[in-house]
């Protein structure tokens, strides 16, 4: 939200194996929030840089980098 409010580029560093079954809805809601913010950045034409580090698996790379 800071990047949107101040109209500055956003850089995200991610290292994750994905959402864990034990965390259930909480972890899935965080990914939904992240996806919504990325969509707003795209709508506003603000740069978004995603740095995926080891380990990063399917769902995280699909949500943050594609």
What rounded mean pLDDT belongs to the chain? 80
**Run of H or E residues at 36:** helix 24-44
pLDDT score recorded for residue 20: 61
- For the chain, domain boundaries: 2-65
Does residue 24 register a pLDDT over 70?
no
Q: What is the pLDDT of residue 15?
A: 77
- For the record, the structure tokens of 24 come out as 């259930």
Joined tokens for residue 53: 């580090």
Helical pair 58-65 and 24-44, crossing angle rounded to 10 deg = 20
Whole-Å CA distances, 51 to 21, 22, 39, 66? 25, 26, 17, 12
């Amino acid at each position: 939200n800071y990047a949107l409010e101040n109209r500055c580029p956003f850089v995200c560093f991610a290292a994750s194996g994905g959402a864990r079954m034990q965390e259930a809805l909480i972890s899935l809601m965080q990914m939904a929030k992240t996806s919504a913010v990325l969509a707003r950045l795209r709508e506003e034409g603000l740069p978004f840089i995603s740095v995926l580090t080891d380990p990063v698996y399917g769902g995280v790379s699909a949500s943050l980098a594609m």
